[in-house]
Amino acid sequence: MQVRQCMSKAPETLSADATIRECAQRMKQLDTGFVPIAKDDRLIGVITDRDLTIRVLADGKSPDDQVSSVETQEVLYCMEDDDVREVLRNMREQEVQRLIVLDNAQDKDLVGVITISDVADHVDEEAGLAEEVARSCRHYH
């Protein structure tokens, strides 16, 4: 199974100039714990609800600070035609639960996000995939 078959398509991005408060409000509005951060139509980072807890609350940041001051700048990604099993292995190695999905190595346009949950929703479609998902989930306990 390829990533494009189970990813969440076209995630909304947030401007690097947005405030932390705006980011939290966007997460609430979209019911998500993850937002890609862009500057000049280029992906420069991501922010998770965990980042808001650890980097904002624990470090005493202001909700009016720019989201770029607390984002994770290393953007981990895969391609939409990658094999899902390889992507799950990559997530385990990187110790993450989601990856940005790009269209291809040449254009590198943002086309989606894939999460362990996205893959879990498709385990009936491919034999043995449930075991890979379970292995990935055990990593986070």
pLDDT in tens, 46-65: 999 999 989 998 889 999 99
Q: Does position 127 have pLDDT exceeding 60, yes or no?
A: no
**Which domains does the chain carry?**
3-138 (3.10.580.10)
Under 8 Å CB-to-CB from 11, ≥6 apart: which residues? 32, 34, 35, 36, 110, 112, 113
| Residue ranges with strand state E in the chain | 8-9, 14-15, 34-39, 42-48, 77-79, 98-102, 110-115
pLDDT of residue 131: 64
